[in-house]
Structure 1
Amino acid sequence: MFKIQTLNKISAVGLDNFPRDSYEVASELGNPDAILVRSADMHEMALSANTKAVARAGAGTNNIPCKDLAEKGVVVFNTPGANANAVKELVILAILLSSRPVINANKWVNTELKGKGDEIATLAEKGKSKFVGPELKGKTLGVIGLGAIGAQVANTAIALGMNVIGYDPFLSVKAALSLDHNVKIVETLDGIYTKADYITIHVPQTDETKGMINASSLKIMKDGVRIINLARGGLVNNADLLAAVNSGKVAAHVTDFADESFLNNDKIICLPHLGASTPEAEENCAVMAVKELRDFLETGIIVNSVNFPRVTSESAIPAGGTRLCIPHKNVPGMIAKFTTILGDAKLNVAGIVDQSRGDIAYAMIDVDGKVGADTLKALGDCEAVISVRPIYA
């Protein structure tokens, strides 16, 4: 019986994919095998030694200490693309809101025209000139990051008649194939900053991307640029952005990350982190996260991990055999050590997959026959081995 702890409310559509006869799922659970999380902060959370994996029902993993968990052999999964359509739709709305000041127009109507009765139509005609905004057609949208979300945003903007330029130094083949052929790829961020009328950001927050929208990058942008950030709050230096808004350099900013300094500014629209807040996205993320955990716990395979390498196998665990799942430090000679120990135990190795990611590696070894406690201990005692988990067929 696998134990799954939920740290946030997770869609029942996803949780229903855990077989009830072999999984226990609860928010209060001791010694869980795995954890399902959305937004809960895990940085100060003490994990049970029994915890083998964490799955984030969403794309970002800033709330999870991924590197620390990797060193403990805990695999962290995310669900890339599961909420892409929800975020894409909100980005398109944000671009429109940055262009046409309908929120301020609505506030004006509700306050200035209240109680005016038959005068409303005339007053509205006189007042509407305060809320003029440009059309999107023919304008240039710069998309920073062309993953699942960025690619969808780019394609939709093309359909709206915009010129789209994109930047992504890590553009995957899958993402490239999904892009409309009219999207132009630029080789540097300056190619976005100097040419775009609208800029939307779709990259993770890392040491390299933190504060990428700052005084220096804002300086080379077009006057009147409109900036959309529904990715991560830390990608923008708020003080620099606010100064650019107040000077008129930036015509509008829409962010999913409210900040005290941004509130009640007519040129800034703050949203309460609504990017993936649709029932469809929550269901999609939960379904994917549950599948990732089940695949890992039941078969050892790793797909969509942010701190471990991708490791899969087309072969099933040998009948009556054992699959050994061994996270270890990425140092030479580990496989030789493992096969020597298994050979000394008179166990035949049916298959080996070993992949690395930075300092961490993960071996998945199929063995004919059941691996006993003494052999498991010998494997675990190897220098650089983090843990050993047997899965018996």
Structure 2
Amino acid sequence: MKILVTEMMWNDGIEKLKQKGYEVDYDLELSRKREELLGLLPNYDAVIVRNETKVDTEFLDAAKKAQVIGRLGVGLDNIDTKQAAERGIPVISARNANATSVAEYVLSCMLDASRPIRQADVDVKKGNWNRALFTGTELNGRVLGLIGMGEISHRVAKRAQAFGMEVVGYDPFVAPFDHVVQETGIKQVHELGELLKHSDFISLHIPLTKDTKHLINKEAFSIMKPEAYIINSARGGIVSEEDVIEAVKDKQIAGAYLDVLESEPITDSSRFAESENIIITPHIAGSTDEAQSRTALLIAEEIDKVLNGQKSLCRVN
């Protein structure tokens, strides 16, 4: 059987598939070569994608032999899972494989905002020794607000609590006795505005849907503390980019850490260059070496299960 990989996949996952006897064709740039991709799809029994490959009607029409689609990650906004299901094609995601890496990314953002170590280093190397300028603040006693209370939020909360932070969460789909409330110790709030009003850091862990599109917008920023930071490692489009630029410019909030954008990468004319308090990273929150390896190995294993008629716990449709 033949498997096509259209985006970056760690080699250990590819090698695992080859060891199981599959013929694997890998082109990490194929997601950007649409016509070539569509021409190749009819020849493959399985396709592995990441977040750039659009698995839409055109893709599914071309993938005539496909028995399964693997997603190297958990976001599904680039995949029409409903149409795939109608055609009998299961979609497999890398369930929780990168959750720890995303959680550590969020902690890194909060530490970076609290202790200006990089700025102090630059200043010292210029010949200065300004201790008062770079004192920073503690995370201890600060309030972290989590929008979305799934597995990643659970891991973020446990780490934030170790720093002495108070953690609150908003998620209309989480019940009062779910484990993330009862066992993790997140204080559940039932109004988004309450979380926005009281949090020093707000971290997003929700999918991009019609209901979450621009959820964090001008109105949301007007509620937040002027010393607050927004952290988005979930999906571009949840935060209104024009509104966050204005909010930081007008000092409605202290800053933002954005790992995901509505259009990636940014252009030379992007307004993000206007503010040094908006930190942009290239969609790397869940992309540590360890997470990449776990993701690749998990998808390889689950693809193999489906192709051999077994059930996958990572199926999403």
What's the TM-score bracket when you normalise by the shorter of the two chains?
0.7 to 0.9
Pair 1:299-2:309 in alignment? yes
Q: Name the SS of the counterpart of 1:59 in structure 2.
A: coil
- Structure 2 Cα separation of the partners of residues 106 and 264 of structure 1: 23
Per the normalisation by structure 2, the TM-score is 0.84
How far the C-alpha of 1:268 sits from its partner, in A, is 1.2
Equivalent in the alignment of 2:233: 230
Pair 1:285-2:295 in alignment? yes
Equivalent in the alignment of 1:191: 194
Cα deviations by residue, 1:16-69 (Å, 9 ceiling, x for unpaired): 333646422222766111111224422464632101211111111233333333
Q: Name the SS of the counterpart of 2:294 in structure 1.
A: helix
Which structure 2 segments of 5+ residues have no match? Answer: 28-39
Equivalent in the alignment of 2:13: 14
Inter-CA distance 172–16: structure 2 relative to 1 (3 Å threshold) = farther
Report matched runs for 1:168-317 at 5 Å: 168-171=171-174, 176=179, 180-257=183-260, 259=266, 260-306=270-316, 308=317
Asked if 2 retains the 8 angstrom alpha-carbon contact of 1:263 and 1:270, the reply is no
- Structure 1 Cα separation of the partners of residues 17 and 8 of structure 2: 15
Report matched runs for 1:134-153 at 5 Å: 134-153=137-156
Equivalent in the alignment of 1:35: 47
Cα deviations by residue, 1:157-213 (Å, 9 ceiling, x for unpaired): 001000111122333899726975432111222231121111111111111111110
- Give the letter for the 1:274 counterpart: I
Pair 1:53-2:63 in alignment? no
Asked if 1 retains the 8 angstrom alpha-carbon contact of 2:157 and 2:184, the reply is no
Larger deviation, residues 14-23 vs 213-222:
14-23
- Structure 2 Cα separation of the partners of residues 246 and 21 of structure 1: 54
Equivalent in the alignment of 2:112: 97
Inter-CA distance 223–9: structure 2 relative to 1 (3 Å threshold) = closer
Report matched runs for 1:335-350 at 5 Å: none
- Structure 2 Cα separation of the partners of residues 247 and 180 of structure 1: 39
- Structure 2 Cα separation of the partners of residues 175 and 20 of structure 1: 41
- Give the letter for the 2:64 counterpart: A
- Give the letter for the 1:190 counterpart: G
Aligned residues: 294
User: What is the RMSD of the two structures over their aligned residues, measured on CA atoms?
Assistant: 2.5
- Give the letter for the 2:94 counterpart: T
- Give the letter for the 1:79 counterpart: A
Cα deviations by residue, 1:198-243 (Å, 9 ceiling, x for unpaired): 1111111111111110011222222321111111121100111111
Higher relative contact order (CA 8 A, sep 6+): 2
Inter-CA distance 159–76: structure 2 relative to 1 (3 Å threshold) = same
- Give the letter for the 1:101 counterpart: P
- Give the letter for the 1:288 counterpart: L
Inter-CA distance 101–153: structure 2 relative to 1 (3 Å threshold) = same
Inter-CA distance 124–171: structure 2 relative to 1 (3 Å threshold) = same
Inter-CA distance 276–172: structure 2 relative to 1 (3 Å threshold) = farther
- Structure 1 Cα separation of the partners of residues 66 and 90 of structure 2: 9
Inter-CA distance 60–181: structure 2 relative to 1 (3 Å threshold) = closer
Cα deviations by residue, 1:99-152 (Å, 9 ceiling, x for unpaired): 233344444445xx1xxxxxx2xx222xx5444432110011101112221110
- Structure 1 Cα separation of the partners of residues 69 and 184 of structure 2: 38
Inter-CA distance 293–9: structure 2 relative to 1 (3 Å threshold) = same
Larger radius of gyration: 1
- Structure 2 Cα separation of the partners of residues 82 and 42 of structure 1: 22
Asked if 1 retains the 8 angstrom alpha-carbon contact of 2:207 and 2:235, the reply is yes
Q: Percent identity?
A: 34
Cα deviations by residue, 1:55-86 (Å, 9 ceiling, x for unpaired): 11111123333333333332222112100111
Q: Which protein has the bigger strand share?
A: 1
- Give the letter for the 1:206 counterpart: T
Among 129, 137, 144, the residue aligned to 1:124: 129
Q: Name the SS of the counterpart of 1:16 in structure 2.
A: helix
- Structure 2 Cα separation of the partners of residues 179 and 78 of structure 1: 27
Asked if 2 retains the 8 angstrom alpha-carbon contact of 1:80 and 1:148, the reply is no
